[in-house]
Amino acid sequence: MAKTISIFAPATYVRLFKLAAVVGALLLPTFNFALMASENNESDAIKTAKAPNDKEITAEDSSSKENVRESIFGGSRPLDQSHFTWGADLGASVDLTAHDMSTFDLDFVIGYKNKFLKTVGIGAGIHRTVQGGDNFIPVYALVRTSFTSRPSLLFLNARFGYSFNTVEDSPMFGDYNSGLGCGINLSQSSKAKSYIIVGVAYRYFNKRHQDYISRLDTPYIWMAQLQFGVNF
pLDDT of residue 64: 47
Q: Where are the alpha helices (DSSP H) in 67-153?
A: none
For the question of whether the overall pTM of this predicted structure is more than 0.75, the answer is no
Q: How far is CA 226 from CA 102, 110, 115, in A?
A: 12, 20, 25
pLDDT of residue 116: 87
Beta bridge partners of 157: 144, 181
Between 82 and 210, name the one with better pLDDT.
210
The architecture in CATH of the region 84-231 reads: Beta Barrel (2.40)
Asked whether residue 87 carries a pLDDT value surpassing 90, the answer given is: yes
Asked whether residue 188 carries a pLDDT value surpassing 70, the answer given is: yes
Distance between CA atoms of residues 129 and 4, nearest Å:
132
Q: Average pLDDT, stretch 79-83?
A: 67
Distance between CA atoms of residues 130 and 223, nearest Å:
14
pLDDT of residue 1: 45
Residue ranges of the domains in the chain? 9-67, 84-231
Average pLDDT in the chain: 79
Q: Average pLDDT, stretch 101-123?
A: 94
Burial of residue 143, with CB atoms counted within 10 A of its CB: 0-12 exposed, 13-18 middle, 19 or more buried: middle
pLDDT of residue 213: 87
Using an 8 Å Cβ cutoff, are 146 and 158 in contact?
Answer: no
Distance between CA atoms of residues 190 and 224, nearest Å:
32
Q: How far is CA 108 from CA 17, 113, 141, 193, in A?
A: 99, 15, 12, 15
Amino acid (one-letter) located at 85? T
pLDDT of residue 162: 97
Distance between CA atoms of residues 202 and 161, nearest Å:
11
Q: How far is CA 93 from CA 8, 48, 124, 132, 167, in A?
A: 113, 64, 15, 14, 16
pLDDT of residue 161: 98
Distance between CA atoms of residues 5 and 28, nearest Å:
32
Question: What's the pLDDT tens digit per position in 10-26?
Answer: 555 556 555 655 555 55
Please name the residues in contact with 96: beta carbons below 8 A apart, sequence gap of 6 or more.
Answer: 222, 223, 224
